[in-house]
Amino acid sequence: MDVHCSVFIATSLDGYIARANGDIDWLTGSEQSESGEDYGFKSYFDSIDVLVMGRNTYEKVASFSEWPYGDKQVVVLSSYALLVTDRLAGRVEIMSGAPGEVVSRLAGRGARRLYIDGGVTIQGFLRSGLIDEMTITRLPVLIGEGLPLFGMLDGDIRVEHLGTKSYANGLVQSRYRVIKGETIAAGERPTAPEI
């Protein structure tokens, strides 16, 4: 199965993707979001076949006055029934299943490049060894607490730094390739040398 799964996401400097209540006011109300710069998102988005997101992310985005994904196919992962409004009919599909099953189903339909979005969804795909690449854009703001981009893992996941670009407004964007087959189980982690 030759499917490339990637992440393109913004975080606060302290690693949160949203406040604890799901609010992203620190992101959407920032001077960075009002600059007109898209930080490479359009080029990235044009390169993917399907956007796979979690239920919470979908509910947040569906509440916006304008649907930001055009006619791109969006798959929402949820084990609960969700309402897809008339304006999104034909563009949004609800799907359930483990990350590997979802990737297999989409691959069977011809999808080769998947954009994975939403904290819990990204974490699940990472734990399943399915994320190939991550673009993480850090905004120069500390929000103190919230929903973290990364959660508990079964072991370390090694990544290769592909590049970092900084912007005049303080935003820093880094790209990483996930190194497959190099997960270190928690019990096998080397201990730090004594000083």
Q: How far is CA 142 from the centre of its chain?
A: 20
- In this structure, what token pair is assigned to residue 21? 């209540």
The token duo for 20 is 């604890």
CA distance linking residue 136 with residue 10, whole number of Å:
6
pLDDT recorded at residue 37: 81
Domains in the chain with CATH codes: 4-188 (3.40.430.10)
Confidence (pTM): 0.87
Dihedral sign for Cα 48, 14, 63, 41, please. negative
Inter-CA distances, 118 with 36, 76, 184, 187, 188, Å: 23, 10, 25, 29, 29
* 98 Cβ contact partners less than 8 Å away, ≥ 6 residues apart: 124, 128
Amino acid at 130: L
Angstrom distance (rounded) from CA 69 to CA 176:
24
Cα radius of gyration rounded to whole Å, the chain: 17
pLDDT tens over the chain, length 195 residues: 589 999 999 999 999 999 999 889 988 765 555 567 889 999 999 999 999 999 999 988 988 888 999 999 999 999 888 888 888 888 999 999 999 999 999 999 999 999 999 999 999 999 999 999 999 999 999 999 999 999 888 888 999 999 999 999 999 999 999 998 755 555 554 554 555
